[in-house]
Amino acid sequence: MATPTLRPNPKKSPRRGDDRLFLTERKLREGAELMFFAYRAFTQDPDRLLHARNYGRAHHRALHFIGRRPGISVAGLLEILGITKQSLARVLKPLVEDGLVDSIPGEEDRRQRLLTLTALGRALESDLSRVQRERLSRAFREAGSEAVAGFRAVTALMIDEDARDGILDMVYGAPDRPE
């Protein structure tokens, strides 16, 4: 079954149903536990690849977003990751030193630092994301398109409302936004 290509519209939930069936304390606790275990499984394969290089999940997130947005500014990456400048510096320094990320001055403002992945960085990011895409692909195929649409709607609605539109535009691209 094909997975939906457009992002979910969190305002239009596909079957609201009876809240008592899934909003019990037990069901919410189970949902939270499933999220913890799913996240653990989702990160375990990349964690092994990262550990072999003495990197952690923060390095993976930086590689992911730099790879998705070549030429992103340090300020732009800070905004996406929601971390401090000092924390980002600790992550970027080894990535630059190890030849995975290039940091070049901006053309208009030389103080601005623009980040891109090198060929080595693209290869590592590709390996890290491939194992996660394979896991998602298996799960999406087995669950079916209706479940995938539900998953996408639920995860979109978990994002803080004041940030949701901007994040969904970033993830799916503004032109693909269904209304």
In a domain, 162, yes or no: no
Predicted structure pTM score: 0.81
**pLDDT, tens digit (0-9, with 9 covering 90-100), for 84-128:** 999 999 999 999 999 999 999 888 887 889 999 999 999 999 999
The separation between CA 104 and the C-alpha centre of its own chain, rounded to angstroms, equals: 24
In a domain, 107, yes or no: yes
In a domain, 68, yes or no: yes
CATH of the domain at 91: 1.10.10.10
Structural domain including 49 reads 24-129
In a domain, 49, yes or no: yes
Domains: count for the chain: 1
In a domain, 171, yes or no: no
Q: What is the mean pLDDT of the segment spanning 54-77?
A: 96
**pLDDT, tens digit (0-9, with 9 covering 90-100), for 156-167:** 999 999 999 999
